[in-house]
């Protein structure tokens, strides 16, 4: 088993606690409150109890904190599934919605999602 990875020394425990007090983001505050325990000499298990997570999560927090500082602890947006529409399809859809429907041509008096999906499919 390797040695524990310590948090970077650029920040003090008090500075992290102050950041946790100022933030409006609950999960970020929890992460910022778990790390000062490590600075103060607590074990990773104690820091995990403070954060309400497992030891592996605390290790991940320390690695993210060391790499990016406090900004590394902010929740990131998941990448999600890539769009199925190509740029030309997206532009045609925007053009169709902006121009509005013609009941005689499109067979609808207002656009619904199902109608636009059918038009895109065709």
Report if residue 6 sits inside a domain.
no
**Residue numbers of the chain with a pLDDT score lower than 70:** 1-8
**H/E run at residue 24:** none
- Token output for 66: 């060391």
Do 67 and 17 share a structural domain?
yes
Q: Give the pLDDT confidence score for residue 56 in this predicted structure.
A: 92
Report if residue 1 sits inside a domain.
no
Report if residue 24 sits inside a domain.
yes
Q: Give the pLDDT confidence score for residue 1 in this predicted structure.
A: 45
Task: Give the domain extent around 104.
Answer: 87-121
Comparing CA positions, the residue from 74, 66, 67 lying closest to residue 31 is 74
Cβ-based burial of 14 (10 A; exposed 0-12, middle 13-18, buried ≥19):
exposed
Q: Give the pLDDT confidence score for residue 3 in this predicted structure.
A: 52
Do 100 and 65 share a structural domain?
no
Do 92 and 69 share a structural domain?
no
The structural domain count of the chain equals 2
Q: Give the pLDDT confidence score for residue 54 in this predicted structure.
A: 92
CB 70 within 8 A of CB 52: no
Do 106 and 66 share a structural domain?
no
């Amino acid at each position: 088993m390797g040695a524990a990875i310590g948090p970077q020394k650029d920040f003090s425990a008090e500075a992290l606690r102050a950041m946790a007090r100022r933030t409006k983001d609950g999960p970020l505050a929890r992460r910022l409150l778990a790390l000062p325990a490590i600075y103060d000499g607590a074990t990773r298990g104690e820091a995990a109890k403070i954060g309400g997570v497992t030891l592996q999560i605390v290790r991940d927090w320390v690695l993210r904190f060391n790499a990016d500082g406090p900004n590394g602890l902010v929740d990131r947006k998941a990448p999600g599934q890539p769009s199925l529409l190509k740029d030309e399809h997206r532009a045609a859809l925007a053009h169709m919605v902006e121009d509005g429907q013609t009941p005689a041509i499109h067979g609808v008096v207002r656009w619904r999602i199902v109608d636009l999906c059918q038009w895109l499919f065709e």
